[in-house]
Amino acid sequence: MANRLIVTGGAGFIGSAVVRNIIRNTPDTVCVVDKLTYAGNLESLSEVSGDPRYRFERADICDRAALDRIFADFRPTHVMHLAAESHVDRSIDGPGEFIQTNIVGTYTMLEAARKFFNTLDDAGKAAFRFHHISTDEVYGDLEGPGDFFRETTPYAPSSPYSASKASSDHLVRAWKRTFGLPTLVTNCSNNYGPYHFPEKLIPLVILHALDGKELPIYGEGLQIRDWLYVEDHARALYLVATRGVPGETYNIGGHNEKKNIEVVRKICALLDELRPRADGRSYAEQIVHVKDRPGHDLRYAIDADKIARELGWKPQESFESGIRKTVEWYLAHRDDWCAHVLSGEYKMERLGTGD
């Protein structure tokens, strides 16, 4: 039987990739629940929005009445909870929104799911899953070059963002133990790929480079991240939601550790090849180093052996193939999706969805 999945934050970067993957590759029906904050963009779902198995509900995950209505009406078999505030710099400037969305919002989702779960018969309860999508940033950072984040790594969040996500992870696990809600948690490494909001490193560098702007790098750019192509992540998330074991945690990584400065230089090299500057000089000349942000973690790296061993997932994209696809996508969509985001035009799509 086909599944019925609620995907919160489904108009965001990772959420929209999840929805596109489900509609393209499965017989399942999806209900996207998204508040459409600055990072929510319905253009990222235009490819699937005409499919009869796609449904959109504009709602705040902190609005319990709206959630109760959606659960009762849609009657999901699975919940994939991605809605979150996720930008570290924004969390430093204004942590309150992160506490509200990531902690209170997750609590509200859990309670709405629990109420619905308790209305199900035994077969419905056996099938139901609540999948909470989190981040590797809850673990803090790593000291030695041979260390990796594992599902058993103690939490040590460094920023208001990662602390709020750590709190939400704990809530999800508590609702499993205390109330018997069948929950799963995944913690992922840094995502990149098409439809990424341009405040994040990779799309910011691509678009700034093309516009002739400076390419700001925190400190010396020696921070190391494990990069995961977003469509690989979307496949992993669906596997966990539909085949994962309730109560378990699965780490999802790309097996691609890179220093930030290496990532930026790679993007510059690809742009030099694919869209050379008119003056013949390298985009790398636009790199500038700026003061590091407070509490900046030095290294993240995921041990993804468990999901490979138990669910058979491995990333299909190397960093080389994934970053080329990403740069090519931004070049192809600079005048439509990117231009609409940078101008704010994409927000016009919110008219008629509840404003």
List the strands of the sheet with 224-229, edge to edge. 190-192, 224-229, 257-259
State yes or no: is 161 an active-site residue.
Answer: yes
What angle (nearest 5°) sits at the alpha carbon of residue 271, between those of residues 270 and 274?
A: 85
- Check 54, 107, 139, 161 and give the catalytic one: 161
Give the span between the Cα atoms of 161 and 163, in whole angstroms. Answer: 5
SS (H, E, C) the chain: CCCEEEEECCCCHHHHHHHHHHHHHCCCEEEEEECCCCCCCHHHHCCCCCCCCEEEEECCCCCHHHHHHHHHHHCCCEEEECCCCCCHHHHHHCCHHHHHHHHHHHHHHHHHHHHHHCCCCHHHHHHCEEEEEEEHHHHCCCCCCCCCECCCCCCCCCCHHHHHHHHHHHHHHHHHHHHCCCEEEEEECEEECCCCCCCCHHHHHHHHHHCCCCEEEECCCCCEEEEEEHHHHHHHHHHHHHHCCCCCEEEECCCCEEEHHHHHHHHHHHHHHHCCCCCCCCHHHHEEEECCCCCCCCECCECCHHHHHHHCCCCCCCHHHHHHHHHHHHHHCHHHHHHHHHHCHHHHHHCCCCC
Spot the catalytic one: 57, 60, 136, 141: 136
Please give the structure tokens belonging to residue 289.
């180093």
User: Which whole-number Å values give the CA distances from 57 to 32, 44, 74, 255, in the listed order?
Assistant: 6, 15, 10, 35
Asked if 297 is an active-site residue, the reply is: no
Q: Catalytic residue at 155? A: no
Q: Which of 57, 60, 137, 317 is catalytic?
A: 137
Residue type, 253: G
At position 20, the amino acid (one-letter code) is R
Please identify every residue annotated as catalytic.
Answer: 136-137, 161
